[in-house]
Amino acid sequence: MKELEKLYDPARVEDDIYAFWLNGGYFHTKADKNKKPYTIVMPPPNVTGQLHMGHAMDETWQDILIRYKRMQGYAALWVPGTDHASIATEAKVVAKMKEEGLTKEMLGREGFLERAWAWKNQYGDRIVSQLKKLGCSCDWDRERFTMDEGCSKAVLKVFKYLYDKDLIYRGERIINWCPHCKTSISDAEVEYEDQEGSFWHLKYPIVGTDEFLVLATTRPETMLGDTAVAIHPDDERYKHLHGKKVLLPLLNKEIPIVTDTYVDMEFGTGVVKITPAHDPNDFEVGQRHNLPIVKVLDETAHMTADCGKYAGMDRYEARKAIVADLEAGGYLEKIEPHAHNVGTCYRCGTTIEPMVSKQWFVRMVPLAGPAIDAVRDGRIKFVPERFDKQYYHWMENTRDWCISRQLWWGHRIPAYYCDACGEVHVSDEPMTTCPKCGGALRQDEDTLDTWFSSALWPFSTLGWPDKTEDLDYFYPTNTLVTGYDIITFWVSRMIFSGLEYTGKVPFDTVLIHGLVRDAQGRKMSKSLGNGIDPLEIIAQYGADALRLTLVLGSTPGNDMRFSDEKIKASRNFANKLWNATRFVMMNLPEDFQAGLPAADKLDLSDKWILSTLNNLARTVTDNLDKFELGLAAQKVQDFIWEVYCDWYIEIAKVRLNSTDPEEADNARKVLVYVLTQALKLLHPFMPFITEEIYRALPGTSETIMTEQWPVFTEELNYAAEEADFEKLMDYIKAVRTIRAEMNVHPAKRSSMIIETSETEAFHRGGDYLAKFAFATDVTLTEKYTGDTAGMVQVITHAARGFIPMMELIDREKELARLNKEKAGAEKEIGMFSRQLSNEGFVNKAPANVVEEIRQKLARAQEKLARVEESIAALG
C-alpha cells in the first residue's frame, strides 16, 4: 500500500502518470470483434497552433467521453492528428524567410517546400506535446497529419473521383480574394463585421439626352469596371429607357441599360450599377446579358492598367481620387453615411475583394442534398438540436465551393496541362507526358483548400481509400466534438464527403460546445489582452483543475466563463479529495483486505452511502449518455465533497475508534469501497489525481483506466434505509443550522424531544443524533403535547424537534428567525395556491407537475402550522 505525500503536487505527479499510461500502451486500441467500437476523431488543430482555451475545452470533452467509454468496455479509439493549415503555415515560413532576405520566388517551389517541411518537423509537434499535458488519452500510435502519405492519397483519389463525375470543374467565377494572403478563400472562410462606410449617390448621363440615372454604391472605385446599369423590366419610371445606354463617368465609355428582375424597384432609385468582375450578383446578371468582364483590381487590391490615371493606386487611395473627380465633374449627387456588413478574411482580418478569377470549384448542390437528408432523417443528430438550423441554412443556400488556393504549401492540384494540344488531364498518379499527343505536361500551380483534405478526416485517418481492418471496424465514427463556429467550415463538408465517398455518415452525433469567455463574459482576444494560457494554468493548478473548471457548469452549445475563483475551487476540490484519502489510508492496518462486508454487517449509514453511490452511478451514466457532461461532473463532485468527505467520513470516525474490531473494520471496508468507486466516476474528468490515488489504495488493479465503470445494481439498492437516513440528515442539518445562527458552542449539549411519524428511522439513528445534533438524550413521540415553554423548535418535513435551549439563546432573535420562516412559508403558499387556482395551468400542465405543486403546497402549509406553534410557544 503506497503512502501518499502530505500535500498533493500536480506538477510532481502528472508527467510521471502520463508516461506510465504511454509506456503501458493503455491508449492504444485494436479492432476487437468481442467489443463494441466507439470512435472519436480529433478535430485536427493547425500544425502552427498553440494550445488555447478553445482547444482545452474541446479536447477535455472528447477525453471525458473516450475514458468513459473505455471503462464501459468499448474498444474506444480516439484518433489524434494535426492539419497542415495552408495559409497559416505558409505565412509563418514566408515571414521567417523574410528575416533572411529571401522570398518564395528566390527559392523556387521545391526549395520553399523543403523549408516548409523543415518548419513543420521543428515546430509541428508543439501542440501535440501540449495536448499530452492536458491528459488526452489519444491513440498516439495512430497519429495522423493531413499531408501524410495516406491522407494525401485520399485527397488525390477524391479529386479525380469528383472530376470524373463532373462535380469538380475549372472556370471563371466570382471568388473571395484576400489581398494580404494573396489567395482565394471559400464563402465559409469569410467573416463579416460591421464597418462604418458611405453610400455615394452617382449620376450616370443617359446617352443622347440631358437626363441622368442616379444610383448608389458603397465601393465607388469599382465603377471603372461597370459594363452596364440595370433596371427592373416592370419599373414604369424607366420604361422609356429600355435599349438605351449611359455614359460611364470619368471613362466616357458607353455602356448599356439592361432590364433584370434582380433589381429591387423599392430600394433606392431602382437603378443598379453592374460590375461583373467584382460582385457575385452582378456576375450572374452579366452572364445572363452576355456583358463583358472588366477587372479593375489586381491581387494586391491595386487598380489595374485598365483604370487610366488611377492605375497602380491602392483601392482606398483610388476611392478618394475617384470621388473627388466625380464631384469635380458634377457626377456626385450626395454622400450618406452607411454602416454595413463587410466581408473579411478569417485568417488575417483584411477586407476581402470579390473578383472574377479562374479557379477550381466543387458543384455543391448534388452533394448537399443527401447531406441535408442525413440530418433530417436522424442518422446524424446535433446536440443541442438547435444547431441543425445553422447547418440547414448553410447547406440549403450553398454555392459552388472554390477549392483552389494560390499557395505552395498544401496538396497540389492533380491537374496536368498540355501546351502542345491544349488537353487537361486529372490523375491521382503523377503524369509527365500527354496521353493524347505525347507532349510535355505541366502541373497546376495551385494547391487545394485545407478544408478539402480535412473533410475526409473521419475515414482517411482510418485507411480509406484502402480497405483496412480499422476502417471496417471503427467507421462510421460516433461522436464529433466541435465548436459551433466551424459547422459550415468543416462539419458540413465531412457529412457530404462521408456519404459520397463511403456511402455512410461519418459520425452519428455532433456535440457542440460554446466558447470559453473571460470572467466578464468577453471573448478572449489579443486586442483585449484577456487571453488565458492553459499551460500556465496547468503549471499553477494542475491539468485536473483546469479540466474540471472547463466542464463544471458547461452545457452543450453555450458559452462559459472562466475565472480565478472557478479554477481555485477546482484546485481546492482536488486537495479535499487528497486529504480525505490520506485520512482513510492512515486508518488502514497493514493487513487490510478490501471488499464490502456482508449485508447484515452494514449499519444504517453504510447502507445510506452505498445506496446513494449506487444511484449516483446510474444518474451520472445517464447524464454522460445524454452529453450532459457538466451536470455529471457536478454530481460526482457534490457526492465526493458533501456526502463522502463532509458526512460519511465524519460518521465513520466514531466506528473507526470503536472497541469492536469488526465494527471498525466494516467502516474501513465501506470507506475504501466508496472511495474506489467514486474515483472511477471522477476519472474521466480528473484522470491524473484519480490514477495517483487509485493505485495507492489496497485491492486495486494496475490502472484505473481499464477498470469497469460503476453501474447501478439491485444488490446495493437500499432505498428504504437511504430515505430513513436522509430524514435523519435533514434533521441534524436543521439543528446545526439553528445552533450556528444562535452561536451555540458545540460543547453545549441538550436533551431533545422529536415529534415524528418516522419513529423507527429516528430510533435507529440515536447515535448519530447524539454525535451530530449535540443531544444528551432523545425522546421520540408521534405527537408531543407537553409544555413547550422555553424550547426552540426545529422543523423539517419529517419531524419537529423541541430543544430546551432558551437559556442559551436570545429570545427576540429566535422570534425574528421564526417570523422570517413564517413569511417564507406564507410566500410559498401564496405562489403554489395561485398556480393551482389557474385553470389554464392546471388543464395544460402535465399531471405529475400539477401533483408535485399540490404536494409542495401541502408541505408549505404544514411547515407554516409548525412555525406558528413554535412562535406561540415562545410567548
> 10-residue block means of pLDDT along the chain (875 residues)?
87 95 96 96 89 91 98 98 91 91 93 94 88 96 96 97 97 86 78 83 92 91 93 93 93 93 90 92 92 91 90 92 93 86 79 88 96 97 96 93 93 96 94 94 95 97 96 98 91 97 98 88 78 91 96 91 93 97 94 93 95 98 97 98 95 89 95 98 98 94 95 95 92 86 78 88 84 88 84 87 76 82 93 91 85 91 82 65
* Residue 346 identity: Y
Mapped onto helix, strand or coil, the DSSP state of residue 694 is helix
- Contact by Cβ (8 Å): 701, 688: no
Q: Binding site for ATP: which residues?
A: 526
Q: Binding site: which residues?
A: 526
Residues in the chain: 875
Query: Would you state the pLDDT for residue 180?
Result: 84
Helices 104-123 and 86-99, axial angle in degrees (round to 10): 110
Query: Would you state the pLDDT for residue 518?
Result: 83
Helices 661-682 and 649-656, axial angle in degrees (round to 10): 150
List the grid coordinates of 732.
Answer: 441534524
Cα torsion 298, 301, 305, 308 to 10°: value is: 150
Q: Selecting from 3.30.499.10, 3.40.50.620, 1.20.810.10, 3.90.740.10, what CATH number does the domain 183-354 have?
A: 3.90.740.10
Query: Would you state the pLDDT for residue 205?
Result: 95
Distances (CA, A) of 417 to 142, 172, 179, 183, 434: 37, 17, 27, 21, 8
Query: Would you state the pLDDT for residue 764?
Result: 84
| Distance between CA atoms of residues 256 and 381, nearest Å | 51
Query: Would you state the pLDDT for residue 873?
Result: 59
Instruction: Give 507's contacts (C-beta < 8 A, 6+ positions apart).
Output: 380, 458, 476, 477, 478, 479, 480, 494, 498
Same fold, 183-354 and 561-717: no
Query: Would you state the pLDDT for residue 532?
Result: 85
| Distance between CA atoms of residues 294 and 356, nearest Å | 9
* Residue 444 identity: D
Sign of CA pseudo-dihedral 548, 554, 558, 559: negative
* HEC sequence for 275-328: CCCCCHHHHHHHHHHCCCCCCCECCCCEECHHHHHHCCCEHHHHHHHHHHHHHH
Query: Would you state the pLDDT for residue 759?
Result: 82
Helices and strands: H and E segment counts in the chain: 28, 29
Q: Selecting from 3.30.2140.20, 1.10.3720.10, 1.10.730.10, 1.20.140.160, what CATH number does the domain 561-717 have?
A: 1.10.730.10
Query: Would you state the pLDDT for residue 808?
Result: 67
Q: Cell 432573535 belongs to which residue?
A: 813
Alpha helices for 683-781 (secondary structure H): 687-696, 719-741, 759-764, 766-772
Main-chain phi, psi angles of 510, to 5 degrees? -110, 105
| Distance between CA atoms of residues 780 and 773, nearest Å | 14
Query: Would you state the pLDDT for residue 410?
Result: 96
Report how far apart the first and last C-alpha atoms of the chain are (Å, whole number). Answer: 61
Q: What is the pTM of this model?
A: 0.84
The ranges assigned to domains in the chain are: 183-354, 561-717, 748-873
